[in-house]
Amino acid sequence: MNFRGRKFKIAVVVGGVMLAAILVLVSPIFYIQEVVIQGNNRIGKADIEQRLGLNSTSNILLFNTGAARRRIMGNLYIGGVSFRRDLPGRLYVTVFERRPSAYVEHMGNFLVLDDFGRVIEIRPNFQETLPLLEGLKFTSFQLGEMLDVSNATDFDSVVLYTQLLVTHGLIHYISHINVSDPSNIRILVNYLEFHVGGPADADEKVRAIVEVLYRLPDAGRTRGLVDMRETRAQFSLELLQ
């Protein structure tokens, strides 16, 4: 067999192998038969499934994860998505939800912020118990972006306390966080005020708030003040009339 004949035969074999591979890849065996969604507590499974953009012949090997990620993250309550393929036909989708952590009033509505200060929703009223942030100065906002306040350093202090309140399980007990005076941030449980000062020793101060609320059985109706601007071994409660 001459060189040209051998070359043709090799080309035919290679073409046959490639065609067979393509037929296998697009065959129904690799259709997505099952979608397992994980990590969603607030976001319904149906919403995520719709944003995946799948149909009855979607191929798990050809599935465009980048486009699906962008569609899913169009829901601002979702901060990240990861995918894992379990061949031949199972797709795992893990979402990472943003945590609503505070309200900010703006022109008669309430902006919902996550624990990093990102605006994730606009609501006409409160739908769940979260602290109302008071004293922040801003003129505009962008959905899906960090709240653009006039003093970013002061806002970082607020975000720090918000994150700690979430971490220590207090966020749903706090009624207000007042930052009118950035050097003395006030955290309120209804009429009980904790004056925590600035960001210094923030974790220790939030732990002390946990302890006070634990030891004070009727904290939600107590009218008083706890001065925590300086950290110390014990803090005293000043009852107010």
Structure tokens at 176: 């207000």
Same domain flag for 132 and 196:
yes
The answer to whether residue 164 is domain-embedded is: yes
Same domain flag for 127 and 161:
yes
Same domain flag for 209 and 122:
yes
Q: What single string gives the DSSP state of each residue in 44-71?
A: -HHHHHHHHT--TT-BTTT--HHHHHHH
Q: Give the 3-state secondary structure of residue 95.
A: strand
Contacts 24+ apart (CB under 8 A), 136-141: 136/104, 136/179, 141/106, 141/111
Count of domains observed in the chain: 2
The answer to whether residue 22 is domain-embedded is: no
Which pLDDT tens digits describe the chain residue by residue (241 residues)?
555 556 555 555 555 546 545 555 666 888 999 999 999 999 999 999 999 999 988 999 889 999 999 999 999 999 999 999 999 999 999 999 999 999 999 999 999 999 999 999 999 998 889 999 999 988 889 999 999 888 788 889 999 999 999 999 999 999 999 998 988 999 999 999 999 999 999 999 999 999 989 888 787 788 999 999 987 777 777 877 6
Q: By residue range, what is the domain housing residue 64?
A: 31-97
Residue 140 has φ and ψ, to the nearest 5°, of -150, 170
pLDDT score, position 151: 79
The answer to whether residue 7 is domain-embedded is: no
Angstrom distance (rounded) from CA 17 to CA 126: 62
pLDDT score, position 6: 61
pLDDT score, position 20: 46
Domain end call among 97, 115, 131: 97
Same domain flag for 35 and 120:
no
